[in-house]
Structure 1
């Protein structure tokens, strides 16, 4: 049963949990420090700025006492325990003026100053008090005792900002480092999985699509850890921290903000419902585009030779247009549910706040202090910042989840673990018994095949295209497994031998040899530490390639670019022969190894073949029959069946199908039988 994508992403994250968990601790600390700021601001406003409106009492001269009209006054919350006090007085703000009232006030409400009379109204209640307007110097005297505390709190506020910045930097660095480690591991796993996959997987998947999963899709996953989860973690912790701070500030205002949580949840659910489908199509189209680009680059000589540029561009434009169409749908969805919608909800909440708090002056709302109101507005602004961050990352979240599905789909493909074990070199006695095989159901390419190749023998496979020659070798290498029958090596069923161990003592030379980026020497040794440089040189010498490569500027250290395109076909083939010889296989397979080289190089390779075949079982697929005259066995295949077998002389004496094919290639056609042979051989030669 497949695991859910989210769970698997979490498991990858847990592989590097230390930096991630430490980053979350730093994030929590950063949020705590940052959210302490409004509380400090509230303290500055309510206690030290608006605290001037607290009750004042006549007192003795001393610390924090203020002189006014010959008397000394001290704020009630500044009095020492047991300190004697006199009459209570008040300092109140009316508009832009401050007034001194030499008596307590009964209630507070709307204030109005007319001359030296202060009128306070609260509903139907009204009170009038004599008041004296304070001059600037007099007002300054009442504020002066608070300056030291205000400066101290200002430094604390600034310090919190600096500390929070350091915590945020550490959090970001650790999260990104952890994310890069996760994606590095994921890419390694995906690439390792490719090595485990059977060959038939690559038969059915364009290379560009596989490359897209390793590069584009894993990069989208990296964005999930670096950007999306960072914003989601930060946002969730901020939201929870702000809600906790709001409840500590005023539970009534905190309850007012709680609907934001279900609203955000519904928002994300609705967005994901539509975005998931769009993003899946976008990733599929992107993979198809990469596949087509890869195919076009590989086949550019054919495209240009047959003047297919316009048609290729048209096909690419169709794919590109489909990709653009889904991108446009995604863009529309993002525009509808973007941060602009967040701002709409933010403004609605602020409107509700105005109604709640503003109604307090009419006796219908919540009455709060200016400091609490300031802190609440600050927190409300901060609350919508992480929501904007989360909403803005929803598109990346869906892209990453779709990309993750594609990556995990590849990782879930059934493969074979790469074995590091080794086995003793087998002799190479190969036996096919009643082997039947089909690539697709009921479309058999081999039917009841029986033959035996003993150690040191050379077996040649000939026949028209589609006769099953390459399928024999695919089964021997276990690129595919037989449907019916048995293939054995030294009496042991190949299915009982791990694939890597089986292939350890096999070598193959293809018609179009594949060379890797590196040097000639590295292409012979394949960077296997068990293959020494002396062994590489000896292998090149044995196949007759040493003199050919001596003329190059760097000799066998000459750079080789992708597919060896700077080397001739003969040079590439000789490197392939040397590679097979350097690994000293017990079974050697030559798949049209001399089909695409010139006659002069073929003579060199024919001599190399004699060296290669010594002491090992050799299978040769050949259309050029002159290259297999010395084979111990020649098997003539037709539609998956062996119709003739024997050595060259035996088959020539039979004057059957092999004889007709050989005569045709030697230019001795003219009879009806030769015409028939030509009809069979022509597709193979094409």
Structure 2
């Protein structure tokens, strides 16, 4: 683990700051929406206590008809509707017993208690005592007469409720839109940063990490992080704001109810901690398996011809199924964990909490020894129901939270790999005088190059020959500065390469691989690689100069012919000539040729050789040679054996020495007579260490 969850959270927070304005706007709308939604229970409480149950408050006889209720020729107004200084007459009460309401024409000393009606009298019992008052049953129309003055207030509250719901709807829409927009911007930035860092990673990093795993981190892992900002942030932010608002509302409503309800907070915290303890372990494996699945799919597609030829379909499928089964097994473990700890458990806890509260406070209200009013109790039940709703949303997002954190950690692990510094600017085209002096180099422990010393003058052609593993490609890797030597020095035009930024050196280098790599696009775009400094005229000239027009003119769209991935629709000769034109268009001072004719048929080879002569003019050229007949005109031939230069000179000089080069040449000449039936595997096999890079580095 490169860092704990706190460190990951800080880095994600820094990314969130890139869209802080939108996030702040979303959170403001979230707070407005919560406030508007929580206004509903208070409006309902007001309606119940002040307008519906308020009918049991004292009424007084009055002479004014406005805001009054008429009963048997007299007008009565509720006590809280009198204006200051207004005259009050006889006090009366309206009380409920069972499902009926009764008119009591006198003052009631104590209305709370157990009520019963019999023979024109209503009895109110409280403890061991009771009071008896004369009472008249009210008809529905008579009862409505006492409610009618409350209707304007009720209509006003209903209007406020509708306005609050409309504000809540607008706030929810704005919050969702802005959160999605901000999350997309953050993930775009994160994905760009991850991909940009991949471009800066040294070549040796990719030696041990399959391409599919890298792709998974750029795509799947960053997409999983998006859920953190969209779903998780939305639910947790709204949940925290909502729960805070509910508790504020509960304390405003009734302090006792609020204090009793505080047990939910520690329960939720413990819940999240325990859940993540198990979920993180599963999610690490799930993300890793998904990455491995992508890797094996990528490898299978790349190597499909080999899989088919050697009939490895069943074995490959079994490997894939094993990974897929393990992936599914851990997904099922997460499913079981989520099933046990999500909304079902929340509902159980909510129901338990409501039952306890209703049993304690509700029973007291019904027996007349009311601790809280019915309106307060209703508002409390409503608020508790609203509070458990965001808790359910938060709990349901725990899986996405943990998966997002694990994915973010994997993306940050990649970004924390040491990359090569990127230096802006450029340097003038150098002449190409290359000198290796006492160079020692090892990929890991054992030296693959030992005491390498030679010079290549501008315009010279230097050939590297030797068996597989002799160090040919390692010299090229050092020249490109994919690696730096442990001992010795390498200089270009007398300047140590370690003093020159890698991008500046590579700006004036080019390479033609034995199996050239073409990108999806057109023939012309594969020559220019999208570099705006190379005009279309220069592209066409480069293709014509290497003779590519002879092999490509027959194509329907000429140099604008579409190229599929790796140039699979083109022949080996056509791909090779395009790579030659690419190198020529960039006009490198140093050119590396990885046996450019090794995969070319005899008929095309003459055309390729002519292109080579055009390409080598005015450049220092290094050739990794497998066919020794193609380097007879090289100015200098370096014969490598087990990482050392054992022979050095021109073709004629080396032939006169009758040494290793002489034997290799004689062997190949003999092999050619046998129609290549007896190739020496040591001299004809390409060095596997050469990195697959484009012509323009």
What range is the shorter-chain TM-score in? Answer: over 0.9
Q: Deviations over 1:529-579 (max 9, x none)?
A: 000111111111111112222111111010011111011111111000000
Give how far 1:211 is off.
0.2
Give a deviation string over 1:511-537, Cα, whole Å, max 9, x none.
111111110000000010000111111
Deviation at 1:676, TM superposition (A): 12
Instruction: Please name the residue that 1:189 is paired with.
Output: 193
SS of residue in 1 equivalent to 2:462: strand
The Cα offsets for residues 115-168 of structure 1, whole Å up to 9 and x where unpaired, read as 311111122221111100001111111111111211121111111101110011
User: Which moved further from structure 2: 363-372 or 486-495?
Assistant: 363-372
Please report how far the alpha carbon of residue 420 of structure 1 lies from its aligned counterpart in structure 2 after TM superposition: 3.0
Tell me the distance in 2 between the aligned counterparts of 1:216 and 1:294.
15
Which residues in structure 2 correspond to 1:292-371 (within 5 Å)?
292-361=296-365, 367-371=371-375
Contact 1:90 1:101 in 2 (8 A): yes
* Residue 435 of structure 2 is aligned to residue 414 of structure 1: no
Query: Is residue 2:168 matched to residue 1:152?
Result: no
Is residue 2:383 matched to residue 1:379?
Answer: yes
Alignment partner of 1:111 is 2:119: no
Aligned-partner SS, 2:670: coil
Can you list the C-alpha shifts for 1:312-368, whole angstroms capped at 9, x where unaligned? 011111111111121121111111111111111101101210232034258898611
**How is 1:75-154 mapped onto 2 (pairs within 5 angstroms)?**
75-107=78-110, 108-154=112-158
Q: Secondary structure at the match of 2:153?
A: helix
Kept in 2, the 8 Å contact 1:356–1:365? The answer is: no
Change (3 A) 1:51 1:362: closer
TM-score by length of 1: 0.97
Does the aligned pair in 2 maintain the 1:179–1:222 contact within 8 Å? yes
Equivalent residue in structure 1 for 2:652, among 632, 646, 649: 649
> How far off its partner does 1:684 sit?
5.4
Structure 2 residue matching 1:113: 3-state secondary structure: strand
1:532 aligns with one of 510, 530, 535: 535
2:535 paired with 1:544: no
1:123 touches 1:363 (CA, 8 Å); kept in 2? no
1:460 to 453, 460, 463: 463
**Are the aligned partners of 2:473 and 2:687 in contact in 1 as well (CA < 8 Å)?**
no
User: Alpha carbon RMSD of aligned pairs, Å?
Assistant: 1.9
* Distance apart, 1:419 and its partner CA: 2.9
- Alignment gaps of 5+ in structure 1: none
Match of 1:274 in 2: 278
**Aligned pairs (5 A) from 1:522-601:** 522-601=525-604
Distance 1:433 1:316, change over 3 A: same
Offset at residue 103 of structure 1 (A): 1.4
Contact 1:435 1:487 in 2 (8 A): yes
> For 2:107 and 2:277, how far apart are their aligned partners in 1?
63
Q: How far has the Cα of 1:11 moved from its partner?
A: 0.3
- Is residue 204 of structure 1 aligned with residue 170 of structure 2? no
Corresponding residue for residue 501 of structure 1: 504
Q: Is the 8 A contact 2:437 2:490 kept in 1?
A: yes
* TM-score normalized with structure 2 length: 0.95
* 1:668 Cα offset (Å): 6.8
Give, in angstroms, the shift of residue 52 of structure 1: 0.8
Q: 1:685 offset after TM fit, Å?
A: 10
Tell me, in whole angstroms, the C-alpha distance in 2 between the residues paired with 1:231 and 1:265.
15
Please give the per-residue CA displacement for 1:282-332, whole angstroms capped at 9, x wherever unaligned. 101110110000000100110010000111011111111111121121111
Q: Counterpart of 2:447 in 1: which secondary structure? A: strand
In the aligned structure 2, how far is the partner of 1:669 from the partner of 1:199? Answer: 37
The aligned length equals 682
Structure 2: 5+ residue stretches without partners: 689-697
User: Secondary structure at 1:152's aligned position in 2?
Assistant: helix
CA separation in 2, counterparts of 1:81 and 1:60? 15
Residue 45 of structure 1 is matched in structure 2 by 48
Counterpart-to-counterpart distance in 2, 1:668 and 1:18: 73
Following superposition, the deviation at residue 683 of structure 1 comes to 5.1
Distance in 2 (alpha carbons) for counterparts of 1:375 and 1:40:
9
Aligned to 1:217: 221
Relative to structure 1, the CA distance from residue 340 to residue 319 in structure 2 (aligned partners, 3 Å threshold; closer, same or farther) is same
